[in-house]
Structure 1
Amino acid sequence: MAISQQIQANFEARGAVVGEAGRVRFVGQEGADDQVGVEAVLEEGLGWVARSPRETLTIAGDDAIPWLQGLVTSDLMGLVEEGRGQRTTWVSHTGRFVGEARLMHFPEMLLVDLEPGTLAGGLMSHLRRHIILEKVTLNDRSAETFVLGLYGRGAAQVLGQSGTWAHRMAPGSLTMFGGTWGQIAGCGVVVQRVPWSPEEAYELRLDPAEVLKVMAAVEEVVGRRLSMCGEAGFERLRLTAGVPRFGVELHEKVIPLEAGFEDAIAYDKGCYLGQEIIARLDTRGTPAKMLRGVRLKASRAPEVGAKVEALIDGTWSQKGELVSVARDGGGALYRGLVFMKRGAYEVGQTIRIGELEGELEALLSLPGA
Structure 2
Amino acid sequence: MSSYSDLKKTAQKEVASYHASEQGIIELTGEDSFNFLHNQSTNEIKSLKAGQGCNTVFVNSTARNLDLATVYVGKDKIILLVSPNRTQFLMEWLDRYLFPMDQVKLKNVSQENAVFYLYGEKSSALLEKWGLNPLKDQPFASHEMREINGISVRVALGTDLGLTGYTLILSSQQASNFQEMLSNAGVTSLSPEVWEELSLEQGRPLPDYELTEDYNPLEAGLWKAISFDKGCYIGQETIARLNTYQGVKQRLWGLELSQPVTPETPITVEGKKVGKLTRILETEEGVKGLGYIRTKAGGEGLTVQVGDATAKVVAVPFVTHL
Residue 49 (structure 1) shift: 1.8
Contact 2:66 2:211 survives alignment (8 Å): no
Give the alignment's TM-score, normalised by structure 2.
0.88
1:188 to 137, 152, 161: 152
Contact 2:261 2:306 survives alignment (8 Å): yes
Aligned residue runs from structure 1 range 163-178, under 5 A: 163-164=131-132, 170-178=134-142
The answer to whether the aligner puts 1:335 opposite 2:304 as a matched pair is no
**1:110-142 per-position Cα deviation (integer Å, ceiling 9, x unaligned):** 111111121223x11221121111111112110
Contact 2:25 2:87 survives alignment (8 Å): no
Aligned residues: 316
Partners in 2 of 1:305 and 1:200 — Cα distance? 31
**1:173-224 per-position Cα deviation (integer Å, ceiling 9, x unaligned):** 443333232111101112233444574232322222212322333444x4x3
Determine the structure 1 residue equivalent to 2:8. 42
The residue identity in structure 1 corresponding to 2:145 is W
Contact 1:324 1:336 survives alignment (8 Å): yes
CA RMSD of the aligned region, Å? 2.4
Partners in 2 of 1:198 and 1:73 — Cα distance? 19
Identity level (%): 24
Determine the structure 2 residue equivalent to 1:326. 281
The answer to whether the aligner puts 1:97 opposite 2:65 as a matched pair is yes
Partners in 2 of 1:160 and 1:134 — Cα distance? 42
Partners in 1 of 2:217 and 2:280 — Cα distance? 20
Give the alignment's TM-score, normalised by structure 1.
0.78
Aligned residue runs from structure 1 range 164-243, under 5 A: 164=132, 170-197=134-161, 199-220=163-184, 222=185, 224=186, 226-243=187-204
Partners in 2 of 1:216 and 1:346 — Cα distance? 44
Contact 2:280 2:287 survives alignment (8 Å): yes
The residue identity in structure 1 corresponding to 2:98 is I
Partners in 2 of 1:254 and 1:43 — Cα distance? 32
Runs of 4+ in structure 1 off by over 6 angstroms are none
Contact 2:268 2:306 survives alignment (8 Å): yes
**1:76-109 per-position Cα deviation (integer Å, ceiling 9, x unaligned):** 14522x2222110122111112332011112221
Partners in 1 of 2:225 and 2:82 — Cα distance? 15
Relative to structure 1, the CA distance from residue 274 to residue 198 in structure 2 (aligned partners, 3 Å threshold; closer, same or farther) is: closer
Determine the structure 1 residue equivalent to 2:312. 359
Aligned residue runs from structure 1 range 129-140, under 5 A: 129-132=96-99, 133-140=101-108
1:68 to 29, 37, 60: 37
**Structure 2: stretches of 5+ with no match in the other structure:** none
